[in-house]
Structure 1
Amino acid sequence: MVANFPPLKNDLILRAARGEKTERVPVWVMRQAGRYLPEFREERKIHQFFEICRSPELACKVTLQPITRFSGLLDASIIFSDILVVPQAMGMEVIMNPGPHFPAPLETPDDISRLKDHVDVDKELGYVFDAITTTRHALKGEVPLIGFSGAPWTLFAYMIEGGSSKTLQKSKSWLFKYPEESKKLLLRIADIVVEYLVGQVKAGAQLLQVFDSNAGDLSPHDFAEFALPSLIQISSRLRSILASDCPPLILFPKGANTSLATVAEKAGYDVVGIDWCITPTVARSLVGSKIILQGNMDPSLLVGGREAIEKNVKRMCSEFGAGGSKGTVGWIGNLGHGITPQVDPEDLRFFLECMQKYST
């Protein structure tokens, strides 16, 4: 493991993820380094999206932008990258213009032969590892650094759909027409994700999040049959390979609220992120007391005015049982999905200030 990083000054999120009581709720925001920030948009005027991802210096620079702007209000940073670097490493072309586009998606299982037989993760994704190490030093211990990957089912869907899709008709038809080939591909992706996340930890990542953004598009039965085994493979192998060096593991199965009990019981993650379509009370009843919850304010509230922001932060903190002299346990504050480009950064600042006010 990489040593000689600056001492950590704020370990709030690490303690919360381990289930320890904290004096206030730690908070970070998915996509906190991104298009809502004027400073990020300036970088995009002169650099392509994947150019930033592939440059450790640029990735570090934009990762630090929200930490600098909201100093003292964010309790974690997340390395600037994209979940689709994994399909790229497997040999697929991905263009960001402005959203993701695969010029040659997988049409049938015969197309799996176009993927690389072996992915040298250090060679193909070493730029992410370098960005993580560079960023850990540049953070100077202000907050921990989160590494991440897309989940196999979400990556599988992109690789077959060729981009974003509201119905996931092509990728879901694969599951039903070619169930065994689909399962093999999902586990193959999981193997690469494991190597990728292990490399991130060795480079300096202090937490890991797996984004299963399309989890809610599967029925509970199909989630259990197709998505869950690859999620289990990732968590179990990470714990086996990294042993005592394994950091807290976060799973964000967006929309899979009917599968939360299964996720909590079987998936093997310390923290489970929830979206805004389930109440904290119901989520807690489904996952039990040992799982840490993360979330879950609707990102659209950040463009709904400060009165709405404060009202809903206050409600959310109350429902999660945050604040008071006894401290808080079992919750990491966040949105229920990524922040949108239309958000005024000062409204995000207000959200973060409200989080500190009502969760202390």
Structure 2
Amino acid sequence: MAFSPLKNDTFLRACWRQATDHTPIWLMRQAGRYLPEYVATRARAGSFMGLATNVDYATEVTLQPLARYPLDAAILFSDILTVPDAMGLGLSFEAGEGPRFAHPVRDEAAVARLAVPDLDKLRYVCDAVGSIRRALDGQVPLIGFSGSPWTLACYMVEGAGSSDYRLVKSMLYGRADLMHRILAVNADAVAAYLNAQIDAGAQAVMIFDSWGGVLADGVFQEFSLAYTARVLSQLKRTGADGQPVPRIVFTKGGGLWLREMGELDCEVLGLDWTVNLARARAAVGESGEKAKALQGNLDPNVLFASPEVVAQEARRVLDSFGKPHTDVAASGPTHIFNLGHGISQFTPPENVAALVEAVHLYSRALRR
């Protein structure tokens, strides 16, 4: 599979802990409702799933933020719940309500029916990956992604988002055998799904453990971390263009377990805004085979302040990481700038421009 040569590899170099001339930046949910052009495209598509399942629309919205901002990576436009949808759970999105499953998994029979889905049901995602790679024409790398086994299980059992996780935690504590069965199927499905994205052209892959932080200490390790590790152990290491593919793990609320997450077989750890980057560097370690690049971690609500405050807070995040690695002959600690969670739909687009400019300018100054 032939793709255009990469013109900006700053993000990938940072993933591999190689020196870069600036700190790369991309944003979780960067193609989304804060952009008027996205809203217009979604209106043409008729629905969120109409947007996500149409290759041309998915390609268009993935590239929209790159037309506005000099970001250092693109991320596939899709949803974390495509895998359980392919399992037959009936995903839909109601306006103002978020995702919902018609057939939640709440009893032994429903758990027994679960299986790794036929990846042909997710062909639209892989077709979008290839289309986006071609449309990018080497401008920046493309990131593929999936939800983590635990995060998918939360939605599958609850049937929708949740404020208290009562149903999924009731199963976890009351029928741990069923929960382990769900997580095992999810882990193998996520691995197959991410490998399909890699084969289609994804140049990095990210696992979103959005709800790992709702678990108790000890429970997180057994029901979330272990199954994320199971996914990572199955991932392909080489992409469609023959280049190595870095793996990113982001656990919202995972700051308590940084040392254990540092043992994961991945290249990058994403951090939410509650974590100090310098302390994270110390916890994860900066040398040896298991050393990680760090990604994050501006509070997304900073983007509601003035552009001056946005720039100030961006500099604060860069300073909290510390002096950038500049030795081109060796690997060392590296940072990928991002938000601590997804960008809000109410974010002023001009503030994103202020953020990207501040990160690029200040991180270059730090390297002089």
* TM-score with structure 1 setting the length: 0.94
2:53–2:124 CA contact under 8 A, matched in 1: yes
The equivalences for 1:247-326 within 5 A come to: 247-265=245-263, 267-289=264-286, 290-322=291-323
Residue equivalent to 1:108 = 107
C-alpha change, 1:325 and 1:12, in structure 2 (3 Å) is closer
Distance in 1, matches of 2:131 and 2:78, equals: 14
Greater shift in the superposed pair: 277-286 or 3-12:
277-286
Q: Does 1:358 align with 2:362?
A: yes
Q: Does 1:205 align with 2:209?
A: no
C-alpha change, 1:149 and 1:318, in structure 2 (3 Å) is same
Deviation at 1:19, TM superposition (A): 0.8
Kindly, what percent of the aligned residue pairs are identical?
40
Q: Does 1:143 align with 2:140?
A: yes
1:251–1:269 CA contact under 8 A, matched in 2: yes
Q: Does 1:93 align with 2:90?
A: yes
Deviation at 1:210, TM superposition (A): 0.4
Residue equivalent to 1:63 = 62
2:5–2:138 CA contact under 8 A, matched in 1: yes
Greater shift in the superposed pair: 82-91 or 238-247:
238-247
Deviations 1:127-173 (A, max 9, x none): 11110101101001100000000000000000011111121111111
Distance in 2, matches of 1:326 and 1:183, equals: 45
One-letter amino acid of the structure 1 residue matched with residue 357 of structure 2: E
Residue equivalent to 1:194 = 191
Distance in 2, matches of 1:95 and 1:220, equals: 33
Residue equivalent to 2:33 = 35
C-alpha change, 1:354 and 1:326, in structure 2 (3 Å) is farther
Distance in 2, matches of 1:81 and 1:218, equals: 26
Other structure's SS at 1:64 match: helix
Deviations 1:91-131 (A, max 9, x none): 1111111311113312223222443x45211x110111110
Structure 2: which 5+ runs fail to align?
A: none
Residue equivalent to 1:337 = 341
Q: Does 1:168 align with 2:169?
A: no
Distance in 1, matches of 2:28 and 2:199, equals: 23
Deviation at 1:191, TM superposition (A): 0.5
Q: Does 1:224 align with 2:226?
A: no
One-letter amino acid of the structure 2 residue matched with residue 273 of structure 1: G
One-letter amino acid of the structure 2 residue matched with residue 31 of structure 1: R
Distance in 1, matches of 2:243 and 2:50, equals: 31
Residue equivalent to 2:19 = 21
Distance in 2, matches of 1:259 and 1:173, equals: 23
1:217–1:256 CA contact under 8 A, matched in 2: no
1:153–1:215 CA contact under 8 A, matched in 2: yes
Distance in 1, matches of 2:234 and 2:179, equals: 20
Distance in 1, matches of 2:243 and 2:230, equals: 18
Deviation at 1:340, TM superposition (A): 0.2
C-alpha change, 1:261 and 1:233, in structure 2 (3 Å) is same
1:91–1:114 CA contact under 8 A, matched in 2: no
Distance in 1, matches of 2:183 and 2:323, equals: 38
Residue equivalent to 1:7 = 5
One-letter amino acid of the structure 1 residue matched with residue 19 of structure 2: K
Deviation at 1:323, TM superposition (A): 5.5
Deviation at 1:245, TM superposition (A): 5.4
Other structure's SS at 2:2 match: coil
Distance in 1, matches of 2:295 and 2:355, equals: 16
Aligned length: 353
One-letter amino acid of the structure 1 residue matched with residue 232 of structure 2: S
Structure 1: which 5+ runs fail to align?
A: none
2:258–2:283 CA contact under 8 A, matched in 1: yes
One-letter amino acid of the structure 1 residue matched with residue 225 of structure 2: L
